[in-house]
Amino acid sequence: MRLLSPIKDHHSERRLFAGRVLLAGVVGTLLLGSVITRLVQLQVFDHEHFAEQSHGNRIRLEAIPPTRGLIFDRNGRVLAENLPAYQLELIPEQVDDLDETLTRLAQLGLIDSEDIPQFKDLSKRGPRFKPVTLRFRLTDDEISQFAVQRPRFPGVDFQPRLVRHYPYGKSAAHAVGYVSAISTSDLNRLDATAYAGTAHTGKTGIEFFNENRLHGKPGHRQIVTNARGRQVPADARELSQALVEGDSPRPGLNLHLTLDIDLQQTATDALEGRRGSIVAIDPRNGEVLALVSTPAFDPNVFALGMSGSEFRTMQTDPNQPLFNRAVRGNYPPGSTIKPMLALAALETGATNLTRRTMCQGYYTLPGSSHRYRDWKPEGHGQVDLHDAIAQSCDVYFYEISRDIGIDRMHDYLSAFGLGTPTGLDISGELGGLVPSIAWKRGAFKGRENQTWFPGETVIASIGQGYMLATPLQLASATATLAMRGQRFRPHFVSALDDPISGERTPLSAETLSKVDIENDFYWQSIIDAMQDVLQGERGTARAAGLDAPYTMAGKSGTAQVFSVAQEEEYDEEDLEERLRDHALFIAFAPLDDPRIAVAIIVENGSSGSRVAAPIARRLMDQHLGYGDDALQ
């Protein structure tokens, strides 16, 4: 009989179960061993590394912006400083209704309604726990007004900050420049690390050109944050354990300028109500004593922030208050270049000190009937080079211009620095233009427009036509005349000082290539003629200089704004103001030891002798210690 197999094999099942238990035990032991090993590694061997990482997760480095360096004039008066102020800030995550909050702030007059879209955009871009600045400076009245309403504005508060302040406002605006909020274009050129925590940067003038010196180096501090990166309060024990002392910010260097703010203000007052520019330089070293462009603007409104409508109003003002005429204004130099051309004529043999010309009020080129008119319709009669400068005879220079030639004019005027930027330590300088045959060939398209004509040489001899110069270039060229050819690069910064160490570093003047004139007697001859412009019996500006207690030399100039037909006559008094001639004047004093050289341009001022020369006298009087009221 066949035996039936058991339905269940208990022995096999026990053996299988035992194997599985053993396997599970081994696996569990291995897993537990790996966990224990990892815990030992983390808690013992790698404790210091991961403790530092954990500390870093809740400790965030926050940049501390540096204090911007101060700017002083030559006598130690502050031109740019940092003042404590309260600014209005909004934290987006604490504001329930952003639109309503901004609208109510506008109704209180604390922000401009047209800036609301910009504030909304800024609130959405960054982390919602970071504040957005709505106003850079609040007045005491505005702080009081907001303090009363404060409970109605959760998430909005005022915080103490340092803001840039310019004590002399408009007087030094174009020279010193201004700072304003960092823009997108600024971020493209600035080192983001160096400007962490900084809201402003230099935009124009000395503030822009010396940004690297003035800015300083940011510091850092460590703050306790939660998992979302927000700062959280911590008790003293936590802070002492979690925070280490951060590195302190290093303030920017202080700048000491060559600018004389008293002379600067006098120059500003002299141009009050006019469009124009004044530049004064010390001929002995190139120090810029004054640099004025009018009308000007108040740089404080940029440092404090202005509305879009305010900025557009300033931009579209026909008088262009933002335009720095001193370094960017290109004007026909008029007769102010005659002393330099006279030296060129003597050097090249185009004239001599005894040659006389009959001035009958006009000049014609050989074979042409076109008349190039003198400023004096009846003419000057017989004149030599001395008379031609003192009385500003155009005909004399028309005649000798053909023998000099435009290319030699170009070479000599360029040697005085005309036609190229001077290299002044300020932003935005333009170069002007001294034409030549090669220049015209490259500047125009079409062969018929590339030819240089004799008539263009004639009008170039009195600083008209294509010729252009900035007031700064004219002042620098005048300083070169005063120093008999010795040249210095114009500059503003005379010294730097470290506010921490107190160490002061003087900056030396930079000499430039000298204007070489073979016969030194020519220098004195031209300067004598320039002296007679102001102190001679027949000089064009004798009314401004005859009673001066010191010797001075100058040259007047008038630049036409529009062309006049051959036979057309006009009375300037009947012209619209902006169509009148520009008035120019250059001067320096004293003759034996020049200490000041000035260039003045009054747009549409009509006469350099009547309008610009008295201003030059006023500036020289003040700088040389004779008061500024000699002509009043």
Residues with Cβ < 8 Å from 501, sequence gap 6 or more?
none
The pLDDT, as a whole number, for residue 58 is: 60
Tens of pLDDT along 244-267?
A: 445 788 899 999 999 999 999 999
User: How many CB atoms lie under 10 A from the CB of residue 122?
Assistant: 15
Q: Do the beta carbons of residue 424 and residue 288 sit within 8 Å?
A: yes
The pLDDT value recorded for residue 434 is: 95
pLDDT digits (tens, 9 = 90+) for 512-554: 999 999 898 999 999 999 999 999 888 999 998 888 999 999 9
Mean pLDDT, consecutive 10-residue stretches, the chain (632 aa), reads: 60 78 84 83 73 60 82 95 83 79 81 75 67 74 80 80 89 92 76 77 92 88 60 49 59 95 96 94 97 94 76 85 94 94 94 92 89 89 93 93 94 95 92 94 87 93 93 97 96 94 93 92 95 91 89 90 56 65 92 96 85 94 76 41
158-171: pLDDT as tens digits: 777 788 899 999 99
pLDDT of residue 237: 42
**Would you please indicate which residues are annotated as catalytic (active-site) residues?**
335
Question: Which pLDDT does position 232 carry in this prediction?
Answer: 59
| Separation in Å, CA 547 to CA 544, 587, 620 | 8, 16, 13
At 60 the pLDDT is: 60
Give 629: exposed, middle or buried? Use CB within 10 Å, 0-12, 13-18, 19+.
exposed
* CATH code assigned to 261-304+325-496+513-623: 3.40.710.10
Q: Which superfamily does CATH assign the domain made up of 61-77+167-253 to?
A: Penicillin-binding protein 2a (Domain 2) (3.90.1310.10)
C-alpha torsion sign, points 442, 448, 449, 450 = positive
CA distance 520 to 523: 6
What span, in angstroms and rounded, lies between the C-alpha atoms of 182 and 225? 27
* Chain mean position to CA 369: 48
The sign one gets for the Cα dihedral 528, 410, 335, 509 is negative
Q: Which helix (H) or strand (E) holds 587?
A: strand 582-589
pLDDT at position 33 is: 84
pLDDT of residue 630: 41
Q: What is the pLDDT of residue 137?
A: 73
pLDDT at 56: 54
Tokens of residue 575, six digits: 């012209």
Q: What is the pLDDT of residue 59?
A: 63
Cα 347 to Cα 400: distance, rounded to the nearest angstrom: 12
Q: Flag whether the pTM goes above 0.85.
A: no
Two tokens, residue 597: 């050289």
CA distance to 128, 169, 576, 577, per residue, from 181 (Å): 20, 18, 40, 37
